[in-house]
Structure 1
C-alpha cells in the first residue's frame, strides 16, 4: 500500500468509528444544547508518557465538523507530564463532545504503545540490538499500532503476510522439514521476482543446524533460554542475522543485551499495552 492508500484507510477508519459511537445522534448533547453554542476544550495527560496519535485525533474532529479549530500543542513522540495540555480545540460544543471519545480512544492506545516502545528502546540503548514489534496488533488498527511503535523508537517487523517470508513451526510441520519450506519459498521468490527476505523460526539447536544449511536471511530463535542462546550464537558465528522471540520482558531483557543477537521481537508492544490516561476538559 502507498502512503496515499494508508491515509485513505485512516480516513475510512475514523468514519467507521464515529458512526459506531454516534449513529443517529448524540442524544444527550442534542437534549442539552441548541446547536450553536461555542466552547474551547483541551486534551490533557493524566500521567507521564510519550504522545502519539495527534494527527488521527485531528481527523476525528475535522471529519465530524470541519469548522472545528484544532491546535496541536505537542507533536507525536514528545514526552508528556501529568496535566500538560496536548491539544486545544474550539468549535460547537456538540461537535467537541461528539468527537471526544473517539479521539481519546485513538490517542490513549497509540500513546500507550509509543510509551511502552520508548521504555524498551531505552533498555537496549547501550547495545546493538534492535527491538521489533509483531503482527499481534488490534484488528483494523495495524498501521496505526505499528506507527506508534516507530514513534516510540522501536522498529517494525513485517507488516503482514505479504511482505516477508516467515517460516514458522506450523509451516515446517506441514512441509515436512525446514529445508522443504525454505526451498519452496526460494522458488516462489524467484518465480515472482520478489525481493522479500526469508526468515525461519527454530525451536532448538537441531533445527538451528538445519536452518544454517539453508539460504535464509534471518533465523528466529523461539523461546531459547539464555544458556541455549549462547550456544546458538556460537554455532551461527555471525553467518546470518539472529532474532530472539518469546519470553523477553522488561524485567529480564538485560540478560540478552550481550548475547550477540541482532533483534528481539516483543509482541507485548501492541498486544498487552496499557492505554495512556488522557482526558478532554471543556474550558469555561
Structure 2
C-alpha cells in the first residue's frame, strides 16, 4: 500500500485541482454581490440516513481556501447520521465559505455514500473472518477520497494503484504465456528493479490454483468468479499457504455465503462504482 505521505499528497492534489476546476479566475457570483469583509456562518445539514464521511476532508478544504475559517465539528467521520442532524458549523468570510461549498458537498456526499455501502457489507460479514476490500474501479482523479471513505465505512483498501502491488490477472497470464511464466517473470522483474511488492495471482479454476501453489512467493490468490462449492474447494486446496480473496460479481446478498466458504477477503468494485450520493447541504444561518 502507499505510504501516509503519498496518500496525503494525493489529497492535496485533489483539493488543488478541484479548486482550480471550480473557481478558476474567481467566484464571480460571490464577488459581485457579497462584500469582501462580509462574515457569515453556515451549517452542514444532513438530509439522509447513513454513515458520515468526509468531515476531515472538509476541514482540509476550508483550511486551503481560507485558514481563518472556524469550524465546529459536531459529528465525526464514521458516525451514523439521520435526517436533520448537523455535522458541523463553519464561520468566517462569506466569500470563502461559498468558494469551498461545492467541493465540500460533492466530496462528502459521495464519500458518505461509499462509507454507507461499505458498512452494509461489513455488517453482513459480521461474525466471519472475512474482510471487505475495495478495488481500482474508482472515479478518475479522486481515488484517494473514495478509498478513504471505504476505510471510514469499516472496509479495507486493496492496492491503491498499479505501482504498489502486483496483480497478475487473466490477461497478464495469457500474454505472458501461462501462470508459472507470469509468476517467474514477475519475480525476476522485482529482483532486477529492487522492488518489494506483494504478488496476487488470479485463478479462473481449481486447476489454475494448483499451478499457482507450485510457485513460492505468492501473497494472495484471487479466486475469481467461482461458485460456492468451488470456492470452498479452493480454500481447502490453498490450506493457508497464502491469503485468499473472492471476487467477481459478489453482491450484498451473496457476500456472506462466500465468506462462509472461508476466504480471507471479498473484493467488490460496487463499493465505489455503484453508489447514490447521500443528501447533504450547506445552509447559511
Normalised to the residue count of structure 2, the TM-score between the two structures is 0.93
Answer with 171-180 or 28-37: which moved more: 28-37
Q: Is residue 10–residue 144 contact of structure 2 (8 Å, CA) maintained in 1?
A: no
Shift of 1:37: 2.3
- Please, which runs of 5 or more residues in structure 1 have no aligned partner? none
The 1:5–1:160 alpha-carbon spacing in structure 2 relative to 1, beyond 3 Å, is closer
- Output aligned runs, 1:114-153, within 5 Å: 114-153=115-154
Aligned twin of 2:224: 222
Aligned twin of 1:78: 79
Q: How big is the alpha-carbon RMSD for the aligned residues of Structure 1 and Structure 2?
A: 1.8
Counterparts of 2:144 and 2:24, CA distance in 1: 25
Answer with 133-142 or 173-182: which moved more: 133-142
Which secondary structure state, in structure 2, belongs to the residue aligned with residue 44 of structure 1? strand
Aligned twin of 1:273: 275
Answer with 232-241 or 106-115: which moved more: 232-241
Counterparts of 2:203 and 2:271, CA distance in 1: 22
Aligned twin of 1:20: 21
- Please, which runs of 5 or more residues in structure 2 have no aligned partner? none
- Output aligned runs, 1:25-36, within 5 Å: 25-36=26-37
Shift of 1:44: 1.5
Shift of 1:14: 1.2
Shift of 1:5: 4.2
Which secondary structure state, in structure 1, belongs to the residue aligned with residue 246 of structure 2? strand
Superimposed CA distance per residue, residues 11-43 of structure 1 (whole angstroms, 9 cap, x where no aligned partner): 332122122112222232233222322221000
The 1:33–1:131 alpha-carbon spacing in structure 2 relative to 1, beyond 3 Å, is same
Superimposed CA distance per residue, residues 170-213 of structure 1 (whole angstroms, 9 cap, x where no aligned partner): 11111111000011122223334443221110111222221122
Shift of 1:116: 1.2
Counterparts of 1:30 and 1:236, CA distance in 2: 64
Superimposed CA distance per residue, residues 198-254 of structure 1 (whole angstroms, 9 cap, x where no aligned partner): 111011122222112222221111111113223323333333321101111111213
Counterparts of 1:261 and 1:271, CA distance in 2: 23
Q: Is residue 201–residue 212 contact of structure 2 (8 Å, CA) maintained in 1?
A: yes
Aligned twin of 1:92: 93
Counterparts of 1:168 and 1:75, CA distance in 2: 38
Matched residue count: 283
Superimposed CA distance per residue, residues 42-64 of structure 1 (whole angstroms, 9 cap, x where no aligned partner): 00111111111112212222222
Normalised to the residue count of structure 1, the TM-score between the two structures is 0.93
Q: Is residue 164–residue 197 contact of structure 2 (8 Å, CA) maintained in 1?
A: yes
Which secondary structure state, in structure 2, belongs to the residue aligned with residue 252 of structure 1? helix
